């Protein structure tokens, strides 16, 4: 009986959220793709390269979907940190984007210190990335704990606007502190992650023929790494929150801090651990983000942070699986807008308008579903 209960708990905490994420993501991707194809049929005309708009969309659709999911997984991992803190404190931790940035800088400094040769074998690279990610998680997690202790805990019972202002202040402080340190030490405030051909090598996922022309869907090895790590983070976080004693304590504090304290839960300790977990997730994401984009600077976390918070709201803030789903939907919308907006408007609107388009769609979704796609009562979620 005990074994069956453990299996049921494991299914509810790990397997079911993955199924839920897969179904919702697939449905969103199908709907967005279908709408794009329908619009291509309605506005079909000649575009660049002698192709019709329909042919262009059909040929590029699989790769654009892959690119959108890649961006979405990065947004989703950042959103997990937002949703953890908000679920417990109902606090929008705008400094989380800078915690993410610090993790990226710790990672790049460590990798540059190692001075690895570009032709490093894959096995060695994976070990280095693992160590770098763990170091970024430790640094960002401890930083998040320090921020909670100094900037948030003294204001816990203040009006909600006060800790929000404090979070914004911490965000600016971290940006300028990292910029000052990098400027003094390296005489530049941006850093470049080492490039490894083994990570940049495109892997062919599928090859099909469309309108007599071969269409190849490819994905770089580092993108596969990002997707795998994000799914592991989602599964681990869901298991922690829903199937462990610590998770029960986190949910209790999220629901009612006073009652949880009366039941013997150390509220301050649980909140500190929540910031530690959220910060560690942000640090891991910062390292993976830096590996993907290459160059980072002290302001690299601002735009991804805003989008990740939006993704958390879209999926249902306070809901862990919802944060992942919101990130994937936002990433797909952004990729589709960046790839097709110029073609559909005849060049009147280029890819630089992708954020406007994506956020307009998000506003429409939230008008009809204000709690988000998987939204529930926030106080009942960690």
pTM above 0.85, yes or no: yes
For residue 42, being part of any structural domain is answered with no
Judge whether 33 lies within some domain.
Answer: no
Q: Is residue 36 situated within a structural domain?
A: no
Please, are residues 163 and 152 in contact by the beta-carbon 8 Å criterion? Answer: yes
Q: Does 92 have pLDDT greater than 90? A: no
In a domain, 249, yes or no: yes
Does the residue 16 lie in any domain? no
Q: What is the pLDDT of residues 303-317, one digit of tens each?
A: 888 888 888 888 887
Q: Write down the pLDDT at residue 104.
A: 93
Residue 68: domain span: 52-380
> In this predicted model, what pLDDT tens digit does every residue of 119-153 receive, in sequence order?
878 788 889 999 999 999 999 999 999 999 988 88
Q: Give how far Cα 181 sits from Cα of 144, 165, 297, Å.
A: 19, 24, 12
Alpha-carbon separation of residue 380 from 4, 120, 160 (angstroms) = 26, 47, 19
Structure tokens at 279: 């910060």
SS3 for 156? Answer: coil
CATH of the domain at 239: 1.10.3470
Domain assignment present for 323: yes
User: For the chain, what is the domain count?
Assistant: 1
Task: Answer yes or no: is 23 within a domain.
Answer: no
The verdict on residue 19 lying in a domain is no
The DSSP secondary-structure symbol of 52 reads B
Taking only the tens place, the pLDDT of each residue in 24-71 is 888 888 888 888 888 888 888 877 767 788 888 888 888 888 888 888
């Amino acid at each position: 009986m005990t074994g069956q209960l453990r299996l049921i708990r494991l299914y509810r905490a790990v397997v079911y959220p993955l199924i839920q994420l897969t179904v919702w993501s697939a449905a969103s991707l199908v709907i967005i793709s279908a709408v794009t194809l329908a619009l291509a049929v309605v506005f079909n005309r000649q575009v660049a390269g002698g192709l019709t708009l329909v042919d262009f969309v059909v040929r590029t659709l699989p790769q654009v979907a892959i690119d959108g999911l890649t961006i979405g997984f990065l947004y989703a991992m950042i959103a997990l940190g937002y949703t953890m803190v908000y679920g417990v404190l109902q606090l929008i931790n705008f400094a989380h984007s800078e915690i993410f940035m610090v993790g990226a800088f710790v990672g790049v400094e460590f990798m540059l210190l190692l001075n690895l040769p570009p032709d490093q074998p894959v096995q060695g690279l994976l070990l280095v990335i693992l160590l770098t990610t763990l170091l970024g998680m430790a640094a960002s997690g401890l930083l998040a704990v320090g921020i909670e202790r100094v900037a948030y805990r003294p204001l816990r019972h203040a009006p909600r606007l006060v800790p929000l202002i404090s979070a914004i202040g911490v965000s600016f402080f971290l940006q300028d502190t990292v910029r000052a340190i990098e400027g003094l030490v390296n005489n530049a405030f941006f850093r470049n992650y080492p490039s490894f051909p083994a990570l940049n090598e495109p892997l062919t996922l599928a090859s099909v023929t469309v309108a007599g022309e071969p269409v190849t869907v490819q994905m770089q090895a580092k993108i596969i790494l990002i997707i795998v790590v994000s799914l592991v983070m989602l599964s681990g976080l869901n298991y922690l929150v829903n199937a462990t004693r610590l998770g029960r304590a986190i949910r209790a504090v999220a629901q009612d801090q006073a009652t949880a304290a009366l039941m013997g839960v150390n509220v301050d300790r649980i909140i500190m651990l929540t910031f530690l977990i959220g910060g560690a997730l942000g640090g891991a994401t910062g390292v993976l983000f830096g590996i993907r984009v290459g160059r980072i600077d002290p302001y690299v976390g601002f735009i991804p942070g805003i989008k990740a918070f939006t993704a958390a709201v879209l999926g249902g803030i306070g809901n862990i699986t919802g944060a992942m789903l919101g990130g994937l939907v936002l990433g797909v919308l952004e990729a589709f807008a960046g790839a097709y907006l110029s073609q559909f408007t005849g060049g009147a609107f280029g890819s630089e308008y992708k954020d406007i388009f994506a956020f307009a769609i998000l506003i429409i979704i939230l008008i009809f579903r204000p709690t988000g796609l998987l939204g529930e009562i926030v106080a009942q979620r960690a």
